Structure 1
Amino acid sequence: MSLVTRRNFVKSAAAAGLAMPALGGRALAAEPLKIAFIYLGPIGDFGWTWAHNKGRLAVEEALKGKVKTTYVENVKEDASAIPILKDLAQQGNKLIFTTSYGYMDQTVEVAKQFPDVKFEHATGYKTLPNLGVYNSRFYQGRAVEGTIAGHMSKSGVIGYLGSYKVPEVVMGVNSFTLAAQAVNPKITTKLVMIDSWFDPAKEAAAVQTLINLGCDVIAQHTDSPAGLQVCEQRKAWCFGQGADMHKFAPKTQLTAIEDIWGPYYISRAKAVLDGTWKSEDTWWGMKEGTVVMSPFAPFMPADVKAAAEKIIASTKDGSFDVFTGEIRDQSGAVKVAKGERMPDKDLAVMDWYVQGVQS
């Protein structure tokens, strides 16, 4: 072999050697990001879990080829969630969303054990370097519903079907009541909690109770459409939860709060992909598009629709906040002074009901 030939051989070998790790790097970069979600209910609940799963599908559509998602549904909000989360982490998922408040401590525990995995917990407040939290200002939609309820109620008694006494639900009850009272100061809200997010039988029974107690407009903070079906049968005005449920109550649903999670999930997946992800405390709402009201019922009076649209517009531009004082609790004690807005740090841990809520 001549000197020139040997030199060319060495150059070729070196080039090939350098190309191999580069090729390996490209192959590694092409590996899709594995993302997992845990849901408290079935994806067919037509409410909360259904909306989160729509967000997951939006991620797959927006980031085709770059991500691979999976989910586990009907995960209880207790210690049994821990082995499920560990298994998802061990399967190579590098971004895991836990989509309900009751997973908070379990998410914290598992996140500490898998520091190289990014976790995101919905509606909670505990963070770590690899654990962020996210929420949506559902209470802004409750203010729209409360405004409508204040106009539509003839009895002056409205109802609220709740799940658990957690800040998200308490905020909803209070926002609904305060907005209704802004229309009719004498209005009262009867509250029934069923200690479950998804239990169609309990939801239906609770709505029957609320109607029997004189409620002629009912909002819900549970996930199935069972309560709306009762309202349809008994001709009580109602609102969908998490998604547009008008097909279950076409004659009585006035509107619904739609949870739009896709934009947030896409943004966080992109952040992991481009290496910019960091633990954050995110609270989006109407302005950012995570809280959307479904189309108003065609039979809603024009003045009521106008009042609701005004709340939406002023919420988006920041000129209205339902938690602006004076606000009193059930005992009559002033919790928010006149003209003051309740800060997020207090909203996030709200555990008391406003005056006029009968629980």
Structure 2
Amino acid sequence: MRKVMIMVLVAAMSVMMVTAAFAGAKEKVKVGFVYISPVGDEGYSYAQDQGRLAIDKLPWVETSYVESVPEGPDSERVVLNFARKGYDVIFGTSFGYMDPMVKVSKKFPGVSFMHCSGFKTTPNMSNYFGRMYQARYLTGLVAGLMTKSDVIGYVAAFPIPEVIRGINAFTLGVRAVNPEATVRVVWTKTWYDPALEKDAAISLLDMKADVITQHQDSPGPQEAAQERGKYSIAYNSDMSKMAPKAHLTAAVWNWAPLFKNVVEQVRDGVWQGNESLWWGMDQGVVDIAPFGPMVPKDVQDKVLAAKQEIIKGNNVIFAGPISDQNGKVMVPAGKSMTDPEMLGMMWFVEGVIGNTK
């Protein structure tokens, strides 16, 4: 009898715990997205919006978005408007939305705020990103194996750790298979300006680059490479239809798994702020696009083998020895960079030609 009573008590406590966990559960979750550029740009906002469309198919999710929102006061106004309208989750998808989101989150403690690529959190605001450096490394392997001039051009937006980390991972991939190759960087100081991005790519092509890649939101650099009869590696999404004769592959986002995880937690009343989500290739958030027909099978096989090693955790990318542009050892042999070190990276690895300003 005593054993039976204990079993009944344990069962009752389990029911109480489950009930408590789901006490804040919602029947409907309203989700708002704020984008830095047009969703039709085939780039960063397009990739984020593909994730939104994926969760919008869930019967208990309702989504909305505002595109082309500049960083600064405008973004604060848009985030505030979503909060006032009773949205349960607000995704701010650009780095410059960070401080405005922190400010608004403090006024609406019952709303869940998710900021992309930043580092600040509050009790009801987390940040999220993906380990894009993993995909960047793989695309670097492709570039290093496909270049003939040993000059690779990189059109980059802003000199912040996110962008610098991607350039470095790409260069490590290039140099792993082609130690003589260099990666030339041109800064545009804009996330989305198709004409300027294309001009920057042209300047790199004029410097003998025969492969162009980018940390930009438009296909401008891809189009420049195709017009010159050179190769290109895209970013954010598969841009092969924009430059089919040039497109080798792309480092791409798949935000659907992460977005689904967040909205499920909000629905179930278990979401918590003050967290940083940094998902990788093993969780399906980052990947590479299908190879273009000009990429030889042996190159494809080598890259796909490296991809499997990353997924298994056998290739951490930023493992020593790694030196900076001046030959100074930044990561000794036998050591690997920690997440905080990678998130704060503000120096270029050996093989990059350019500055971090």
Same fold (TM over 0.5): yes
| 2:90 is equivalent to residue 96 of structure 1 | yes
**Bigger shift: 179-188 or 205-214?**
179-188
Given candidates 29, 33, 37, the residue that maps to 1:37 is: 33
**What's the CA shift string for 1:138-165, capped at 9, x where partnerless?**
1111101111111111111111110011
| 2:271 is equivalent to residue 277 of structure 1 | yes
In the aligned structure 2, how far is the partner of 1:258 from the partner of 1:223? Answer: 12
In the aligned structure 2, how far is the partner of 1:334 from the partner of 1:109? Answer: 40
Tell me the TM-score normalized by structure 1: 0.89
In the aligned structure 1, how far is the partner of 2:133 from the partner of 2:264? Answer: 28
Report the Cα offset of residue 341 of structure 1: 1.0
In the aligned structure 1, how far is the partner of 2:331 from the partner of 2:298? Answer: 30
In the aligned structure 2, how far is the partner of 1:262 from the partner of 1:214? Answer: 38
Q: Which amino acid aligns with 1:295?
A: P
Aligned to 1:3: none
Q: How does 1:312-351 map to 2 (within 5 A)?
A: 312-351=307-346
In the aligned structure 1, how far is the partner of 2:39 from the partner of 2:112? Answer: 23
Report the Cα offset of residue 299 of structure 1: 2.0
Q: Which is greater in Rg?
A: 1
Aligned to 2:236: 242
**What's the CA shift string for 1:71-116, capped at 9, x where partnerless?**
1111111232112111110011121000111111111111111111
Given candidates 304, 325, 337, the residue that maps to 1:309 is: 304
In the aligned structure 2, how far is the partner of 1:332 from the partner of 1:79? Answer: 42
**What's the CA shift string for 1:222-247, capped at 9, x where partnerless?**
01111111111111111121111101
Q: Which amino acid aligns with 2:125?
A: L
Aligned to 2:287: 292
In the aligned structure 2, how far is the partner of 1:200 from the partner of 1:51? Answer: 17
> Is 1:119–1:132's contact at 8 Å kept on the other side of the alignment?
yes
**What's the CA shift string for 1:283-313, capped at 9, x where partnerless?**
1111100112111112211221111112111
| 2:252 is equivalent to residue 258 of structure 1 | yes
Report the Cα offset of residue 31 of structure 1: 5.7
Given candidates 46, 51, 67, the residue that maps to 2:42 is: 46
In the aligned structure 2, how far is the partner of 1:333 from the partner of 1:79? Answer: 41
In the aligned structure 1, how far is the partner of 2:336 from the partner of 2:229? Answer: 37
In the aligned structure 1, how far is the partner of 2:316 from the partner of 2:210? Answer: 26
In the aligned structure 1, how far is the partner of 2:256 from the partner of 2:26? Answer: 23
Given candidates 137, 151, 154, the residue that maps to 2:145 is: 151
In the aligned structure 2, how far is the partner of 1:67 from the partner of 1:194? Answer: 37
> Is 1:143–1:311's contact at 8 Å kept on the other side of the alignment?
no
Sequence identity, in percent?
41
Q: Secondary structure at the match of 1:287?
A: helix
In the aligned structure 1, how far is the partner of 2:162 from the partner of 2:25? Answer: 39
In the aligned structure 2, how far is the partner of 1:291 from the partner of 1:33? Answer: 26
| 2:176 is equivalent to residue 182 of structure 1 | yes
Name stretches of at least 5 consecutive residues in structure 2 with no aligned partner: 1-23
Q: Secondary structure at the match of 2:282?
A: coil
Aligned to 2:186: 192
| 2:217 is equivalent to residue 218 of structure 1 | no
In the aligned structure 1, how far is the partner of 2:333 from the partner of 2:278? Answer: 25
Given candidates 56, 62, 69, the residue that maps to 1:60 is: 56
In the aligned structure 2, how far is the partner of 1:321 from the partner of 1:137? Answer: 11
| 2:352 is equivalent to residue 357 of structure 1 | yes
In the aligned structure 1, how far is the partner of 2:207 from the partner of 2:306? Answer: 29
Q: How does 1:197-212 map to 2 (within 5 A)?
A: 197-212=191-206
In the aligned structure 1, how far is the partner of 2:26 from the partner of 2:286? Answer: 34
In the aligned structure 1, how far is the partner of 2:343 from the partner of 2:97? Answer: 16
| 2:149 is equivalent to residue 165 of structure 1 | no
Given candidates 111, 118, 131, the residue that maps to 1:117 is: 111
Q: Secondary structure at the match of 1:248?
A: coil
Q: Secondary structure at the match of 1:151?
A: helix
> Is 2:26–2:268's contact at 8 Å kept on the other side of the alignment?
no
In the aligned structure 2, how far is the partner of 1:161 from the partner of 1:345? Answer: 25
Name stretches of at least 5 consecutive residues in structure 1 with no aligned partner: 1-27
> RMSD of aligned C-alpha atoms?
1.3
Tell me the TM-score normalized by structure 2: 0.90
Report the Cα offset of residue 32 of structure 1: 2.5
Q: Secondary structure at the match of 2:73?
A: coil
**Bigger shift: 106-115 or 41-50?**
106-115
Report the Cα offset of residue 29 of structure 1: 7.6
Q: Which amino acid aligns with 1:301?
A: P
CA 1:30–1:301 in structure 2 vs 1: closer, same or farther (change >3 Å)?
closer
